[in-house]
Amino acid sequence: MKTNKTVAFSRNATNVFFHILTRCNLKCRHCYINPDQHGTATLPPDTVKKRLAVFAGPDNPANVIFLGGEPTLHPDLAGLVRHARVLGYASITIDTNGYLFNDILNRVTPEEVDYFSFSLDGATAPTNDSIRGTGCYDHCIAGIRQAVARGFNTSVIYTVSTANLHELEMMVPLLEELGVHRFFIQVIGIRGKSALENPARNPSQNLQVESARWMRIIPDVAEKAARIGITVTYPKVFLGKDEPFECAGLVAKNFFIFPNGRVYRCPLCEDFPLHQFEFRGDRLVERGRINEKDLFQLSIPEGCVMNRLIQPDNLAYGPDGTPEYKIACCLLKEEVTLS
């Protein structure tokens, strides 16, 4: 039986999205890394370990996702994974573009890493490589095969935009053939590089998928993947007028850490110096007003305040000027499984 549920914000767990560097071997069209706001450093292992320790504890079932840039470019990633286990992190994920540098698959074990999560933005090389760069489709597919062969749990992240929506359904048989366990369908955020293609600046390059197409295509593809045993997660994105809006920044414990010490609670804020926290030495310090926390508390008919401020092109209004729907918090997900 197919189960479709909204994944509520976790109030009892901490999720640490740790960018241990911003360097990458690719130049993806929709990369959200902003060196001016996030820094360019590769963090020393000792710094990473001290910052990891801030969020871990016996009464705090934290999860960590190692990110970049490309985290496998960090020469000490294997040691950082093991240290996270020592600290008691409940789960450890490595997000990767599939090049798997520094022989990482041979330096960690499936007992140490819960998931290798691969970014793939097309079911074919022409579509994926037009977004992520020439040759990276083949590298990513090869990386997935290697990870599966070595017994690692694997997931695939597909960032949906107008440039690749047409191949989303084609991902289902590909994921089955590869033996992937989880499929994350993401919505593109207008931040980082994609902000430079904002339709306000260049109308011919609108990467956002409008609501009717999203609602018609995404749930259907998710159900097809679930039918073959893959767990699928995708952002809720669009709420009906009567559905309640809730901001994860107010009720959940998600921390997005960057090499320059900034710690955000909301991904949509990351292009701006609005971070609620920052590391000063080894201490996590809450910043003074005004920061993202102040924006989280605002209530507007459109739902997400940050969406209204920085990517309003996915909103629509009726003749009376009221929004036709709300935009959900980007951290509110739908999960589809076959039980």
Q: What is the rounded distance in angstroms from the CA atom of residue 282 to the CA atom of residue 50?
A: 6
Q: What is the pLDDT of residue 3?
A: 55
Token representation of residue 233: 């997660």
Q: What is the pLDDT of residue 204?
A: 43
Q: Which helix (H) or strand (E) holds 2?
A: strand 2-7
Q: Whole-model pTM above 0.75?
A: yes
The rounded average pLDDT for each run of 10 residues, N- to C-terminus, in the chain (339 residues) is 54 88 95 95 98 88 95 98 96 98 98 98 98 97 98 98 97 98 92 60 68 95 96 94 92 95 97 97 95 96 94 92 95 86
Three-state DSSP class for residue 160 = strand
Residue with tokens 């690749």: 164
Give the CATH fold of the 2-338 domain: TIM Barrel (3.20.20)
Q: Are 330 and 217 in contact (CB under 8 A)?
A: no
Q: What is the rounded distance in angstroms from the CA atom of residue 275 to the CA atom of residue 288?
A: 10
Q: Are 92 and 103 in contact (CB under 8 A)?
A: no
Find all residues with CB under 8 Å of 241, minimum gap 6, and list them. 323, 324, 325, 326
How big is the chain by its Cα radius of gyration, in Å? 19
Across the chain, how many H-helices and E-strands are there? 10, 15
Token representation of residue 207: 């990467």
State phi, psi for 238 to the nearest 5 degrees.
Answer: -110, 125
Q: What is the pLDDT of residue 9?
A: 59
Q: What is the pLDDT of residue 199?
A: 45
Delimit the domains of the chain by residue range.
2-338
